[in-house]
Chain A
Amino acid sequence: MVKADVSQVSLPDLAGIVDANRRTDLVMAGIGISVLLIAMSLLAAVVIDLIVGGWPRLINPDFYLNFPSRHPLQAGIVSAWVGTILVMLVTAGIAIPLGVGAGVYLEEYAARNWITDFIEINVSNLAGVPSIIYGLLALGLFIHGFGLGETILTAGLVLALLILPVIIVSTREAIRGIPLDLREAAYGLGADKWQTVRLYVLPAARSGILTGTIVGLARAIGEAAPVITIGALTFIAFLPPSPLQASPPFINFEWLESPFTIMPIQMFNWVSRPQAEFHINAAAAGVILMVMTLAMNGVAIWLRYHLRRQVR
């Protein structure tokens, strides 16, 4: 049966089939590459559109030092970028210990039972909950429940909860990559579980955890929806009190309870206005926001690449 088939196919036909296959493969590769090019040109279009649109404001130093204003040409982003930095401090301070702790627990401590299974499903589900739902959580619980108000603390907290799954997942992946030998060597030297984790596993997984944390924080910087939902004001013509002071104890936490604005909200505010002059400001704010997030993502990608080469 097979023999008969082969004898019916003459050599020129075979060559024709091979050619046809090559053509299909070429077409498929072409389609794949063009999808890739379309996606990349969208990214390029976004970047170019923003830079061109915001150029007049981007080159003006006042833009970085002025407060928002009714007059588009005097409006600036100082309260927005300061607010972003302060909110990120809170977010990092909450999300890193919680996320890394949860990741370590799930990888090193958790028994294989239904509770662990449940926590795992829960984390992966939380990663898919829309960010605006976290905003509703903050509005209902932090603001109307706990009375925290529309403050930097509330915003930092809600963004921390939002990126918690990202940090948990990347911590787990980093820890899973640490060979068992390292743990056994530590146990062999007489270390107990916590010492093994603290002195050997965590330092070895450091760069992987750092990568995930940076990716998470980059996501938090760009998030507007949950912070809008808590009703953050958009017209903030003052700075929160400084975290550092000249007199002892040199640090104060009043800034946590201050109203604020952040970069994505400032940009949303400007883009929603009908006057085209404000759209210039929105574009300029968008460039700064993208520089922040892309720089962080770039560092994370570089770290991961560097890490992979190290492991090999």
Chain B
Amino acid sequence: MPTLPSSLSPSDPARSPLRASESFLHRRALWGSFAGGCLLIAAASSVFVTLGIVYVLVTESMGFFAQVSLLDFLTDTQWTPVFENAHFGVMTLVSATVTVAGIALAVSIPAGLALAIYLSEYARREVRETVKPCLELLEGVPTVVYGYFTLLFFTPLLQTFIPGLEGFNMLGPGMVMGIMILPYTASVSEDAMRAVPAGLREAGYALGYSRFRVAMRVVVPAAFSGITAAFILGMSRAVGETMVVAIAAGQNPNFSFNPTEGAATITAYIVQMAMGDLPHDSIAYQSVFAAGIVLFVITLTFNLIGFFLRRRFKEVY
């Protein structure tokens, strides 16, 4: 503590400005560490959410795996949890989940790539600034609204072209979902493309490349890991999407990869079971969490791959 010149130090020590500021500093330090502690707790809360999810999924499905062998769970092709003779072949639900997500990607990859190339290499800055908010609006539509639209507008529309299409099917929800995740896949891949240094593009132009060649031979290869990340993260979204499939793909477990048939995905099954009032200790209740674990593991795998791919393209430049 620096000492004040004697001429400045007041005679009454109790009223010293130095004393006052000391207590002020003390209080301030206390507040500071209190605030820091609160902020740390807030940051740690996100870790507790993850721990909570893992804890719930594991503990609630332990009873399930005590009664159903893992082998049956992964190889059986029937899923009939509330029947007298119950079967728990989760592949029944996985087949529908994969089919719908596959259709969504089949729509989203070419469309998203074309859109991202257009926005990053062709569109003028003002166009890009106008288009991106519009795309965000597409992302802001509640998924239950997309479900209504798919069931009552899009599927009847598809039925006029495809006569054998069932009222509940995997094709319609898959296609709508493909456009639903388009803003996400397009904007993440566009970010990756724009992170490619201008020097690489200029080198391409100096060789006499057209914009198209620069895009396909320089930008896309350079941004490849980021673009892959975009579609892996998009896939993860399609796998976890709930309301569109719960409304428009049907709730009948059906081991099938045929897009014209209806089939319950993992998420649709969880919704269906949650609507009925299941007793807490029944195997049907526990099967919801077992299905949840499969969903969690699939999406976690995609998310981690996507995370590290994205991080890589950020580090390269």
* A residues neighboring B (CB under 8 Å): 21-22, 24-25, 28-29, 31-33, 35-36, 38-40, 42-43, 45-46, 49-50, 53, 97-102, 104-106, 109-110, 118-119, 121-126, 128-137, 139-141, 144-145, 161, 164-165, 168, 192-195, 197-198, 215, 218-219, 221-225, 228-231, 264, 267-268, 271-272, 279, 282-283, 286, 289-290, 293-294, 296-298, 301, 305
**A99 and B136 alpha carbons, distance in the complex (Å):** 22
Assess whether A289 is in contact with B152, with CB atoms less than 8 Å apart.
Answer: no
Is B123 positioned at the interface, with any CB of A under 8 Å from its CB?
yes
Partner of B136, one of A24, A133, A145, A297: A297
**A169 and B307 alpha carbons, distance in the complex (Å):** 14
Interface size on B, residues (CB 8 A): 91
Q: How many pairs of residues, A versus B, come closer than 8 Å at their CB atoms?
A: 281
Assess whether A279 is in contact with B38, with CB atoms less than 8 Å apart.
Answer: no
A130-B241, A132-B240, A224-B143 known; A102-B274 Cβ under 8 A:
no
- Which chain B residue has the least Cβ–Cβ distance from A165? B46
**A287 and B183 alpha carbons, distance in the complex (Å):** 22
Q: Which 6 A-B residue pairs are closest in the complex by CB-CB distance?
A: A32-B118, A130-B240, A222-B142, A101-B42, A21-B210, A140-B56
A124-B307, A129-B296, A282-B148 known; A139-B28 Cβ under 8 A:
no
Dominant secondary structure of chain A at its interface with chain B: helix
**A253 and B133 alpha carbons, distance in the complex (Å):** 38
**A–B pairs, 22, beta carbons within 8 Å:** A35-B115, A38-B111, A39-B179, A49-B149, A49-B152, A101-B42, A105-B42, A118-B47, A121-B307, A125-B303, A133-B240, A133-B299, A137-B49, A140-B289, A192-B32, A218-B140, A222-B143, A231-B275, A267-B144, A283-B148, A289-B145, A301-B136
Assess whether A101 is in contact with B38, with CB atoms less than 8 Å apart.
Answer: yes
- Which chain B residue has the least Cβ–Cβ distance from A100? B42
Is B171 positioned at the interface, with any CB of A under 8 Å from its CB?
no
Assess whether A133 is in contact with B295, with CB atoms less than 8 Å apart.
Answer: yes
Q: Min CB distance, A101 to chain B, in Å? A: 3
**A282 and B152 alpha carbons, distance in the complex (Å):** 11
Partner of B145, one of A133, A229, A267: A267
Q: Min CB distance, A172 to chain B, in Å? A: 11
Give every chain A residue within 8 A of B144 (Cβ-Cβ).
222, 224, 264, 267-268, 271, 286, 289
Q: Min CB distance, B116 to chain A, in Å? A: 9
Give every chain A residue within 8 A of B215 (Cβ-Cβ).
28
Assess whether B141 is in contact with A46, with CB atoms less than 8 Å apart.
Answer: yes
Is B114 positioned at the interface, with any CB of A under 8 Å from its CB?
yes
Is B20 positioned at the interface, with any CB of A under 8 Å from its CB?
no
Assess whether A144 is in contact with B210, with CB atoms less than 8 Å apart.
Answer: no
Is B43 positioned at the interface, with any CB of A under 8 Å from its CB?
yes
Assess whether B148 is in contact with A50, with CB atoms less than 8 Å apart.
Answer: yes
**A225 and B138 alpha carbons, distance in the complex (Å):** 19
Assess whether B243 is in contact with A224, with CB atoms less than 8 Å apart.
Answer: yes
Is B29 positioned at the interface, with any CB of A under 8 Å from its CB?
yes
Give every chain B residue within 8 A of A264 (Cβ-Cβ).
142, 144, 243
**A28 and B281 alpha carbons, distance in the complex (Å):** 58
Within 8 A of A (CB), among B245-294: 246-247, 267, 270-271, 274-275, 277, 280, 288-289, 292
Q: Min CB distance, B2 to chain A, in Å? A: 14
Partner of B118, one of A35, A50, A97: A35
Give every chain A residue within 8 A of B115 (Cβ-Cβ).
32, 35-36, 39
Assess whether B28 is in contact with A192, with CB atoms less than 8 Å apart.
Answer: yes
**A78 and B242 alpha carbons, distance in the complex (Å):** 25
**A100 and B41 alpha carbons, distance in the complex (Å):** 12
A192-B32, A229-B274 known; A43-B42 Cβ under 8 A:
no
Assess whether A192 is in contact with B135, with CB atoms less than 8 Å apart.
Answer: no
A122-B47, A123-B46 known; A36-B303 Cβ under 8 A:
no
Assess whether A297 is in contact with B137, with CB atoms less than 8 Å apart.
Answer: yes
Within 8 A of A (CB), among B87-146: 111, 114-115, 117-119, 122-123, 131, 133-138, 140-146
Assess whether A50 is in contact with B142, with CB atoms less than 8 Å apart.
Answer: no
Give every chain B residue within 8 A of A25 (Cβ-Cβ).
122, 210-212
Partner of B153, one of A45, A197, A230, A267: A45
- Which chain B residue has the least Cβ–Cβ distance from A18? B210
Give every chain A residue within 8 A of B117 (Cβ-Cβ).
28, 32
